[in-house]
Structure 1
Amino acid sequence: MTTALQSPLPSHPVLRLRLASGSGMPRPIDGAWWPRSCDLLSELPQLLAGLPRAWGHITSVTVNGATWPAVPGRMLVFNQVVRLHRTLAASAPHTIVLLAPGRGRWDLLVVPPDTTEETAEPLMAAAAGGHV
């Protein structure tokens, strides 16, 4: 009698997010996010789930329209509406802006999904360290 080995159940990929330490000082970038695709509808829920609870409920997200091609006006994430905005501002092509009423605004560097790990890791470390 032979026993077939079962492959392990697929797991959710690890969120690739690095946040700056909470120094209380204003900073231009609050960390870095390295999504696995350019599909904002599938990537955003995982990002929002991985944010610190202290950030509160993110109600508004602004992304660059060139980086994220298809963005509806809003989406339901964990039974809460999140408004999505697109900008074509040349000043911040690789950022995402997260807003939580009464809590604050956070700007994250978005490392393009097709970036190699050798390139992405130093970018994320620099963003988390406030050196971007």
Structure 2
Amino acid sequence: MTTTAPPPSPTSPHLRLRLAPAGTLPRRLDGVWWPRSYDLLAELPQLLAGLPRAWGHIAGITVNGAAWSAAPGRMLVCNKVVRLRKAVARHSPNTVVLLAPGQGRWDLLVVPPDTTEEDAEPLMTGALSSPA
């Protein structure tokens, strides 16, 4: 198991995450995340720290195995174990699935880290305004 440091300090770049408005069900995506790299060990602590408390403890994360760098099967984030699963899903290769036992499942579209800001902005806005 890998241990990661607490989330970055406020002087680090802001989390690039947009969540769908509450109560807009049904929907295919719960949010859009634009990480700065494909390094899960570097990116996940900041993502998890930026999620709503109501989502509970995210205990499992599934990512596209072809897109992300090597990562352990689990990691310790802020003294909590998070299990990582890499899968190859043809139907949604650019998503990350977050699971919180007893709370729910959330699907986030992942904007590739190397996307320019000019291209990322419409992707992030459009993904959340698309019908289910």
Shift of 1:25: 1.4
Distance of 2:104 and 2:69 partners within structure 1: 26
Q: Which residue is 2:65 aligned to?
A: 65
Superposition TM-score, scaled by structure 1 size: 0.88
Alignment-mate amino acid for residue 88 of structure 1: V
- 1:28-73 deviations in Å (ceiling 9; x for gaps): 1111000001101000000000000111110000000111131210
Contact 2:27/2:131 (<8 A) preserved = no
Alignment-mate amino acid for residue 88 of structure 2: L
The alignment status of 1:45 with 2:42, answered yes or no, reads: no
Q: How many matched pairs?
A: 123
Q: Which residue is 1:113 aligned to?
A: 113
Structure 1 runs not aligned, ≥5 long: 1-9
Q: Which residue is 1:28 aligned to?
A: 28
Q: Which residue is 1:5 aligned to?
A: none
Distance of 1:130 and 1:14 partners within structure 2: 25
Contact 2:61/2:98 (<8 A) preserved = yes
Shift of 1:131: 4.8
- C-alpha change, 1:131 and 1:116, in structure 2 (3 Å) is farther
Distance of 1:25 and 1:58 partners within structure 2: 21
Structure 2 runs not aligned, ≥5 long: 1-9
Contact 1:33/1:109 (<8 A) preserved = yes
Contact 1:35/1:113 (<8 A) preserved = yes
Secondary structure, counterpart of 1:11 in structure 2: coil
Shift of 1:114: 0.3
Deviates more, 1:102-111 or 1:19-28: 19-28
- 1:73-98 deviations in Å (ceiling 9; x for gaps): 00000000000000011111100000
Q: RMSD over aligned Cα, in angstroms?
A: 1.5
